[in-house]
A and B are shown apart, each in its own frame.
Chain A
Amino acid sequence: MTRKRIEITTGFVQADYNFWVGKYMDKFYDGLESKQVLGNRCPTCNRVFVPPRKVCGNCFKTIDLSNNWVKLKDTGTLRNFTTTRIAVSEAGKKKTSEAIPIGMVQFDGSDTSVVYPLLDVQEKDLTIGLKVQVVWNDELKGHPRDIKGFRMLKGGER
């Protein structure tokens, strides 16, 4: 297992900020590198978290690192969405030429949602409850961006 740091660079002041992600997120990012979405299950309340967590906030119990892992499919449900043309980075905000929709997606088999771009779709075609599927980035680095976003599944797919 390799230890990874997520690097976030170029703020208003030139400084590199690094964060240790911990063993749970490390395993999660290892999974992404092989196109596998990993969650973990709280043995007390049975909730499944994506990304995985060391502590279940509801139970305040530590979820053991050695088991409780759940392999998830790359499909999920759209729980919420918004479209913005204001791109906010650590340095400031600027208008983008294109409005990109982003959504809260609940992976099938998990109990929480993650926020990612919604690809090749316009806001008018979005409704809460749509089925979606992961689109992987061409290059996988063990980074949150390994998931490029989600695409809408048409009625007949899967």
Chain B
Amino acid sequence: MNKVGIVGYYQVPPALDHNMGRYELIFQAVRGALDNVGLKHKDVTSVVSATNDYYDGRTISNCFTVEAGGGYMKDETKVEMDGAFAVHYGMLRALTGHHKLVLVWGGSMSSCYPYSSSTLLSTDPTFERPLELINDMTAGAFQMRAYMNHFNVSAEDIAQVAVKNRRNATSNELALPESQLPAATTEMILKADVLSSPVTELMYSHPCDGAACIILAPEQQALKIRDDPVWITGVGYSQEAYYLGDRDLTQSQSMKNAAQMAYKMAGVKDPKKETDVAEVFEHFAHEEMIFSEALGFCKPGEGASLSTEIGGELPINPSGGAMSGNTPCATGMIRLIEAAKQIHGDASEHQVKDVHRVVASGQIGLCAQNNILFVLERGGRK
């Protein structure tokens, strides 16, 4: 069976307002990933980028990133979603045998555009958009209330996720400085400014500037580049219904579907036992709990009972997750990079012991309408 390996990666440190241009940011990510494994631009045969015209403030924004993103004279394309979906497309390109080295990058500068407005612009323009009521914050609030109400989960339980992620972020040198709270308490999270009740500012993954890059290669090629590529052994993704009123917001149907597909591909039967770490893209604290349930780590409504800190039974987001820096178009890709670091033992301060298999996810849409899940495993010559 053919498989694809992650052979290199690079994350530009996130910032609320980066003091550089978009193209510099992209170039730093792409050049960094190539240099990290000693590859040259000429080795790359295909490039997949993840940007968004609304985030970049220009139509066909990718036609200006060709040079900075390494796409010049390469077979290239763009996925206008979270970077994790671009990694998926890059993987497909490597699997067909047409491409020996696929470079995938994503990123944006949210200091340059109103992020919440871009989520309003993604609502149904024939009905919801003129009302200007639905956006990332209000949708997340509905989701949190639905989850709490249905399962009788307390706001403290949910704040606990934010406490863990913001503490984890302090040991991640690539976390957004503003996201790090070494002395976070549930009280601090609950008393923070309300975005949209019951969601407070500190339960929310604040958008920031940044970019990331992952280099993929098919099996044989990957082993030529390094002895220990991280293998993608499973991938699954799914989009659920759009209208909030059509959906059961207490759970994530799309993540369930994604997990089912990815686990089947990777041969994972008991995800809790067989997974060492999970890096999920949680837009809100409560989403991490909903995801851990959809991923089969615990029963519905019992996300709070899982011990997910570093050193716990199943560490989730040891990097601090999306809460440690949510760079639209790169966040899911950064989860994959963090997963690869855990497997390589390169996660320094937030390293989990003996990591063989990690799941990592990306998402897009209000209340995570479309989720993608990867199963990554430790590689090496057999």
Chain A residues, Cβ within 8 Å of B116: 86, 88, 93
Whether the Cβ atoms of B125 and A8 lie closer than 8 Å is yes
Please, what's the 1-or-0 string for B142-153, where 1 marks a CB less than 8 Å from any CB in chain A?
100110010000
* Residue among B117, B137, B195 with the highest chain A CB neighbour number at 10 A: B117
Interface mask (B219-247 → A, CB under 8 Å = 1, otherwise 0): 00000000000000000000001011110
As a 0/1 sequence over residues 189 to 213 of chain B, the CB contacts with chain A under 8 angstroms (1 = contact) are 0000011111100000000000000
Tell me which of B119, B141, B199, B245 has the highest count of chain A C-beta atoms within 10 A of its own C-beta.
B245
A93 pairs with B125, CB closer than 8 A: no
Pairwise interchain contact B114-A8, C-beta atoms closer than 8 A: no
Closest to A83 in B: B197
Contact partners of B117 in chain A: CB under 8 A = 12, 88-93
Residues of chain A within 8 A of B120, CB atoms compared: 88-90
Knowing A93-B114, A93-B117, A115-B244 are in contact, say whether A6-B132 is a contact too (CB < 8 A).
no
A80, B142: Cβ atoms closer than 8 Å: yes
The reply to whether B245 and A114 form a contact with Cβ atoms under 8 Å apart is yes
Q: B121's closest neighbor in chain A, by CB?
A: A90
| Interface: B128 (CB within 8 A) | yes
* B135 interface residue (CB < 8 Å to A): yes
Write the nearest CB–CB distance from B61 to chain A, whole angstroms.
14
A102 to B133, CA, bound (A): 8
A113 to B199, CA, bound (A): 21
Distance between Cα atoms of A113 and B127 in the complex (Å): 13
Which residues of A100-144 have CB atoms within 8 Å of chain B's CB atoms? 102, 104, 106, 112-117, 123, 128, 143-144
Chain B facing A: main interface SS: mixed
Do B196 and A83 have beta carbons less than 8 Å apart?
yes
- Collect the chain A residues with CB atoms within 8 Å of residue B241's CB: 57
Q: Which residue in B114, B125, B195 is a CB contact (below 8 Å) of A19?
A: B125
Cβ B129 vs Cβ A8 within 8 A: yes
**A115 lies within 8 A of B194 (CB):** no
Chain B residues positioned under 8 Å from A85 (CB to CB): 194
- For the complex, is A79 an interface residue (Cβ under 8 Å from B)? yes
Report yes or no: B131 in contact with A82, Cβ–Cβ below 8 A: no
Contact A117 B125 (CB under 8 A): no
- Min CB distance B197 to A, Å, is 5
CB proximity of A107 to chain B, nearest CB, Å? 10
Known contacts A88-B135, A89-B120; is A82 also within 8 Å of B128 by CB?
Answer: no
B130, CB-defined interface residue at 8 Å: yes
**Residues of chain A within 8 A of B243, CB atoms compared:** 112-113
Nearest-CB distance from A118 to chain B (Å)? Answer: 11
Q: Which residues of B contact A114 (CB under 8 A)?
A: 245
Contacts of B141 in A (CB 8 A): 82, 84
Q: Are B246 and A116 in contact (CB under 8 A)?
A: no
Cα distance A20–B124 when bound, in Å? 12
Task: Report the minimum CB–CB distance from B360 to chain A (whole Å).
Answer: 29
Residues on B with beta carbons closer than 8 Å to the beta carbon of A21: 126-127
Among A90, A91, A115, A123, max chain B CB count under 10 A is at A115
A88 touches B132 (CB 8 A): yes
Nearest-Cβ distance from residue B55 to partner chain A, whole angstroms: 12
B196 touches A84 (CB 8 A): yes
What does the 1/0 interface line of A63-89 toward B look like (CB < 8 Å)?
000000000000000011111111111
Q: Hey, which chain A residues are within 8 Å of B198, CB to CB?
A: 82
Report the Cα distance A80→B263, complex, angstroms: 33
* Distance of A117 Cα from B134 Cα, bound (Å): 11
Min C-beta distance of A89 to chain B, whole Å: 6
Contacts of B194 in A (CB 8 A): 83-85
Q: Which 8 A-B pairs have the closest CB atoms?
A: A113-B245, A82-B141, A84-B196, A112-B245, A92-B114, A21-B126, A88-B135, A19-B125
Extra A-B contacts (6), CB below 8 Å, given A8-B129, A82-B199, A89-B117: A17-B125, A86-B116, A92-B114, A92-B117, A115-B131, A115-B133
23 residue pairs from A and B, CB less than 8 Å apart:
A6-B125, A6-B130, A8-B130, A12-B57, A12-B117, A25-B127, A79-B245, A80-B142, A80-B249, A82-B145, A82-B196, A82-B197, A82-B198, A83-B194, A83-B197, A86-B116, A89-B117, A91-B117, A115-B128, A115-B131, A115-B245, A116-B131, A123-B197
